[in-house]
Amino acid sequence: MEHKASIQPVEGGEVKLRNVTKQFGEDVAQTTVIQDCTFEVERGKFTVVIGPSGCGKTTLINVIAGYETPTSGEVVLDGATVSGPGPDRLVVFQETALFPWMTTLNNVMYGPVVQRDSQAADIEKKAHELIELVGLSEFSHKYPIQLSGGMQRRAELARALINNPRVLLMDEPFRGLDAMTRQLMQEYLLRLFEGSGRTILFVTSEIDEAILLADKLLVLSRAPTHVKATITVDLPRPRNLEMLTSRRYAELKSEALSILYQEAVSAFAAGSNAAADLVEAFEQRQSVQGKTDK
């Protein structure tokens, strides 16, 4: 891929969470969303966080991005404690956060323009390169409202990449896209990541997406959340969608699912109706598999 050259190598990107706890509210109304969470995002690796809906994934991203300060514990990026938002950790949001009043080009140029350390002409050239990289050249003068969901996500990716963030934080970026677009976006992200040396922390609640993308998969517990298990995904790279049918893939998926199932069972026991669906579906899957095995 010739235009890979336009992405400069990035330095650093190692994120460490040390005993991070995040609580909201005070006194009686206090809830703990993240409880004593410790993990590491390795530099140059694709780390995926998976957890049940509502467990605190977005809160986790917000803490790492610096939008929220942890109640206790700390987030360390390349040895320095994170103390607020900054262009070294860029977020691609769950809902699109492209600025509706700016064209694709101006959205992508926004970071370098406000950081004021390069010439306008250079910024624009770089922005055009990245817009081409994400396949939106024809749409560089269109407004976000004129782009489809998938295009908006790619524009947002370009807006993040132009700043060469040390780590890219992605909070369920493909949620809400239709199944086919979602798969295409996954393949697209793999092509962008593989061989680029970038560090990505990706949040999802979709097991297939998680395994397809991850080098390391962190399974979160239900709220108050912490890392329940770490699974090393040793599928070879470059990855492609065919791997979803491989034997190793199925093993990894079973492993992850059974951990999620245990979580759902205890959530159900603790009174969460939302967890009931997963418990029931998993049990049916077990019984069907049991029959076919015989």
Ligand X SMILES: Nc1ncnc2c1ncn2[C@@H]1O[C@H](COP(=O)(O)OP(=O)(O)OP(=O)(O)O)[C@@H](O)[C@H]1O
3-state secondary structure of 15: strand
Pick from 55, 65, 82, 256 the residue near ligand X by CB under 6 A. Answer: 55
Q: Which does 173 bind (CB under 5 to 8 A by kind): Mg ion, other proteins, ligand X, none?
A: none
Nearer to other proteins, 5 or 145 (CB): 145
Number of neighbouring beta carbons within 10 Å of residue 40: 17
What distance lies between CA 226 and its chain's CA centroid?
A: 17
Task: Using alpha carbons, select from 226, 236, 157, 230 the residue that is nearest to residue 198.
Answer: 157
Q: Residue from 20, 49, 55, 65 that binds other proteins (CB under 8 A)?
A: 65
- Which of the stretches 36-44, 93-101, 227-235, 247-255 binds other proteins when contact is defined by CB under 8 A? 93-101
Question: With CB cut-offs between 5 and 8 Å by kind, which of Mg ion, other proteins, ligand X, none does residue 87 bind?
Answer: other proteins
From residue 145, how far is each of 109, 142, 172, 220, 263 by CA, in Å?
Answer: 18, 8, 20, 34, 39
What residues pair up with 203 in beta bridges, in sequence order? Answer: 49, 171
One character per residue 88-127, x = contact with ligand X (rule: CB under 6 A) = ------x---------------------------------
Residue 58's CB: how many other CB atoms inside 10 A?
Answer: 18
Work out what residue 67 binds among Mg ion, ligand X, other proteins, none; the CB cut-off runs from 5 to 8 Å by kind: other proteins
Residues forming contacts to ligand X in the complex (CB under 6 A) are 24, 33, 51, 53-59, 94, 205, 223
